[in-house]
Amino acid sequence: MNVKQYLDSTYLKTASQAGLTEAENKVVVKDAIAEAIQEGFKLIMIRPEFVILAKEMILKANSTLLVGTVIDFPEGKSSIEVKIKEANDAIENGADDLDFVCNYEAFKKGDAALLKQEILFGTQIGLAHNKTVKWIIEVAALTDKEIIQLSTLIKNVVMSSFKEEDYSSVFVKSSTGFFKTEDGAPNGATIPTIIMMLENASPLQIKAAGGVRSYDDALEMIRLGVKRIGTSAAKSIASGQNTPNQY
């Protein structure tokens, strides 16, 4: 099995989060892009301001590596207008995948109508430009019931508004990797949460992000039916190592 083609190699820290200067952080980003090109991963997932840099490096290397970026990251609380503006900018800069953070706090408060609208508009703009769209639901912030409900809501919006041939370009994604949990609880993909997502979002695809720390973890997710895995330890996973995944 070519695990590398499931891996979205990820680096999403700001300079301040990484404890680096802006120049130092850009070097880390460039190294991550170069590694993803060299290793033949599916995609490099980076912050919006680095999309143009990644596309330039990929073109120079004559690589097929895809570039993904995050929209309204990491809290997802911005207006639909802000989300669409960020998505338009990312598309203009050449991003292949748009990973939107759902306004999960609004959903938890009962505003399903807002979620339906942002999912509809965000998916529309992505598909209209032949992009892959992923909706991050932040499983660690949700109860099991809410994971099921939100996965189902996304599926229903997509199935009622788009063609069947579009379904493979829309994902439900587990986590940002940045949500702060209490008492060391998992903040990303776990087997139970991924199973709930698979059972309730199908026929949409699932991306497991956060908490996939080893080759064995990745294989288990793939066996369950996950089509993409977001990780900052892609090289370690691909080489069969057990390395902590630190976003």
Cβ pair 54, 63 in contact under 8 A: no
**Would you name the residues annotated as active-site residues?**
99, 173, 207
Tens of pLDDT, residues 168-216: 999 999 999 999 888 778 888 999 999 999 999 999 999 999 989 899 9
CB 91 within 8 A of CB 98: yes
For the chain, domain boundaries: 3-238
Q: What's the pLDDT tens digit per position in 38-75?
A: 999 999 999 999 999 999 999 999 999 999 999 999 99
How far from chain centre, in Å, is Cα 198? 16
Q: Judge contact between 245 and 218, C-beta under 8 A.
A: no
The architecture (CATH level 2) of 3-238 comes to: Alpha-Beta Barrel (3.20)
pLDDT tens sequence across 115-170: 999 999 999 999 999 999 999 999 999 999 999 999 999 999 999 999 999 999 99
Enter the pTM of the model: 0.95
Mean pLDDT of the chain: 95
Closest C-alpha among 198, 196, 229 to residue 214? 229
